[in-house]
Amino acid sequence: MIKEIAHAKINLALEVMDEKDGYHMVNNLMMPIDIYDELILEKSDDISVLNDPFPNDNIVVKASKLFFEYTKINGGVFIKLKKNIPHQAGLAGGSTDGAATLRGLNKLYNANLSNLELKNLAAKLGSDVPFFIEEKPALCTGRGEKINIVNSNIKPFRILLIKPEAGLSTKDVYKNYKYEGISKDKELSNLLKALENDDLELLKNNIFNDLGDVALKLSNDMNNIFVKLSLLGLKVYVSGSGPTMYILDYDNDNLDIINEMLDASVFIKESKSI
């Protein structure tokens, strides 16, 4: 039996550029956070998932099939999946589960696949899945599958995650996005410098997300929350394609006000960077 922890992520930078071969090219600076799903893997004759929330389209099953096809191992796996990361949240709950499945199977069957092999397999499951093989702060380029681990000395910082009840389709967000050709090299450079030099203020002042405005336009619930929090003087960031937003370095007074202000259906969760 193998237990794997599958961490969520936030985007510190998401620069979305022109399409190439059907995919948008990106500069995507991602940070793993301490909210996670749990997977317990046991050897079996076939592939099955307990508590499978998506039986017809589960990345965990896809990852398992991909692993056995690649390794030529004649086996299967029974996976107990405990979901803590919200679905359709911009936190990559599916992608991290897929990567955790590959890592877990590699250990369960002593396959000795390298991280590079695992990342190459992960890239077949989705653009941001390779990031979760190592779960370290990284600048992901190309369509997101090229993982460049960054030098990060920043101390763990508080993150408040806020998500309206309704999800948001990544496909719809990208469909409504138009690249304006504005370079974000300066912001990216400052973010990398902030991580290296443990400078949280520099980090907060340079976080950006090209998909943020589109997500806010597509989700009234998300936009209403964004406006309410902004009127409190809080700096609110969008993670991925939304609808999860986050606030950094908040205090407990902020937290009390936010909890009182927002509807009970809104997902509010304290987290921290790892």
Specify the pairing of strand 267-272 against strand 158-163.
Answer: antiparallel
253 is catalytic: no
Bridge partners of residue 148, in order along the sequence: 139
Tokens (6 digits) for 226: 């964004």
**Lookup result for tokens 């960031």:** 237
175 is catalytic: no
Tokens (6 digits) for 53: 């929330």
| CA 38, chain centre distance (Å) | 15
Neighbours of 196 (CB within 10 A): 13
**Lookup result for tokens 């992608």:** 95
Tokens (6 digits) for 10: 């936030």
Beta strands in 217-263 (DSSP E): 237-238, 245-248
Give the contacts of 187 (CB within 8 A, at least 6 positions apart).
13, 206, 208
- What distance in Å separates the CA atoms of residue 238 and residue 173, rounded to the nearest whole number? 12
| CA 219, chain centre distance (Å) | 19
- What distance in Å separates the CA atoms of residue 3 and residue 76, rounded to the nearest whole number? 16
Tokens (6 digits) for 273: 């960077």
- What distance in Å separates the CA atoms of residue 215 and residue 238, rounded to the nearest whole number? 8
Q: Which of 37, 97, 119, 128 is catalytic?
A: 128
Q: Which of 9, 119, 163, 269 is catalytic?
A: 9
Measuring CA to CA, how many Å separate 269 from each of 70, 140, 163?
38, 26, 9
| Catalytic residue list | 9, 128
